[in-house]
Structures are given as structure tokens and as C-alpha cells.
Amino acid sequence: MIISNINRSDVWSYTLTQIDRFLPLATPEDNSLLRECTEKTLLRISKCFGEINHHSYSTAKGEAKFNIFNSDQYCSFLCLLASEAHRLSEHGNLASRIFYLNKILHGVNCTYHLAFPDVFWIIHGVGTVIGNAKLSEYLVVRQGCTIGAIGGEYPEIGEGFIMSANTSIIGSCKIGRNVMLEPGSVLLKQSIPDNQRVSGNHFTGYTLKAQSEKALAIHFHL
């Protein structure tokens, strides 16, 4: 992976400086854990970004690129970093502090309990909330999106789910493969079959149209 503007070995200390600036009271154990989590997260970022079909995320040969000053990329890095911190130390506060830092820097509320897929893309994620849903590979989430629960029931999302800006999927939804929500659409306790483009909401009704593979190919190296 190509890392811009910083040495790979310094990424953890860069993040630590930010955490300490906004959210002090770290313990020596937190700092040691952050170093371990950072290396694991960089490996995950390498796999993820290498699959994204955009010149700022990968080379023409599919080599991942991580620019520490690209806010979308750093947002995704912090999402995975918080998840790793929680996985390695469920009783520590490091995951909470990383989660909080992501809200401060990017306006993204992404639970660290979430099992992220290997390949996803958060684009302009300001105002986005991602709860503890069941996610699949090739997920796209844009600004103002919500993936949330009703009565403790979260969506189950199939492979290749694309959320346009200001869309929501809430409650016990079951989504098939290659589904796209058009801007402003809201799914509430709905099941959607494979290969559909969805518009509308729970109150005005839904419109479904056939969805080709073109949108997925635009976003990812497929």
C-alpha cells in the first residue's frame, strides 16, 4: 500500500496525538493497544482501498493508496480502528475514544461493535449513522445516510448495496444483492429482492426498477 504524507510507522502516533488533544486521560495500555490496532487496521485498509475504483484509492494495477489527509479515507480508517480496538479489548475505553474522535473530525457516528465487510466505501460521510447491522461486501454509504434499528432489530444487507445521499434503512429490512437506494429514499422494515433500484419511502410508497451491474462496476474493481 502507498501511504501519503506520513511514514507507516508514524500513523499510530499521529492518531494518538489527535485522541489526546480532544479526549485525554489515556492509559499506557491504551497507547500500546493503539499501536497494535493501527497495524491491523492498515492491513484491512490495504485490502479495502485496493478494491475501490477511484484514482485516489488505488492505482491502475489495484495497489491501495492511503492519504492521511484525505478525510474520507481517514474516516474509514477510524471506523475500522475503533472496531479493532473493541475486538481486542472489549472492556477498555480506547474504542470509545476513537469512535468519539471520528464524530468530532468527520461527523460520522459509526458504532465500534459493527463487523465491517472487507470492502466498503464511505463517500462524504458527514451526518451518517451506521448501527450494528449485518453488512456484506461492496457497500457504499454517502452523506446523510442512516443504517439503524427499530426495537433492537437491524437490517440484513446483501452484497453490493449502494446508498445514495440522504437515504436510510431502518429496522428488520432484508436486502438482496445489487440494490441501490435513490437519493432521499427511506426503507423501513422492507425486504428488497436482488438487482433493484429503489425510490420512495414508507409513507408515500416504493418504486422498484431493474438495476444493472454498472453502478457496482463504477465504484469497485469487479
The last residue of one of the domains, among 75, 107, 139, is 107
Is the same domain home to 100 and 134? no
In a domain, 114, yes or no: no
**Lowest-confidence range among 88-92, 111-115, 164-168, 203-207?**
88-92
pLDDT for res 101:
97
User: Do residues 20 and 60 both lie within one domain?
Assistant: yes
**pLDDT tens for each residue of 4-38:** 999 999 999 999 999 999 998 777 888 889 999 99
Answer for the pair 169, 187: CB distance below 8 angstroms, yes or no: yes
Beta bridge partners of 122: 141
Residue 70 belongs to some domain of the structure: yes
The verdict on 56 and 144 lying in the same domain is no
Same domain, residue pair 168 and 71: no
Mean pLDDT calculated for residue range 176-199: 97
pLDDT reported for residue 190: 94
Given a cut of 80, is residue 218 above it in pLDDT?
yes
Q: Is there a contact between 213 and 207 (Cβ–Cβ < 8 Å)?
A: no
More confident of the two residues 92 and 34: 34
Residue 52, pLDDT > 90, answer yes
* Average pLDDT for the chain: 95
> Among 123, 126, 171, which residue's Cα sits nearest to residue 147?
171
Do the domain assignments include residue 212? yes
pLDDT over 70 (residue 85): yes
Answer yes or no: do 9 and 103 share one domain.
Answer: yes
pLDDT of amino acid 91: 66
Instruction: Write down the pTM of the prediction.
Output: 0.95
Contacts 24+ apart (CB under 8 A), 167-172: 167/142, 169/133, 170/146
Whether residue 92 has pLDDT greater than 80: no
Whether residues 11 and 94 share a domain: the answer is: yes
Count of domains for the chain: 2
Taking only Cα atoms into account, the Rg of the chain, rounded to an integer number of angstroms, comes to 18
Asked if residue 136 and residue 164 are part of one domain, the reply reads yes
Range of the domain at 29: 2-107
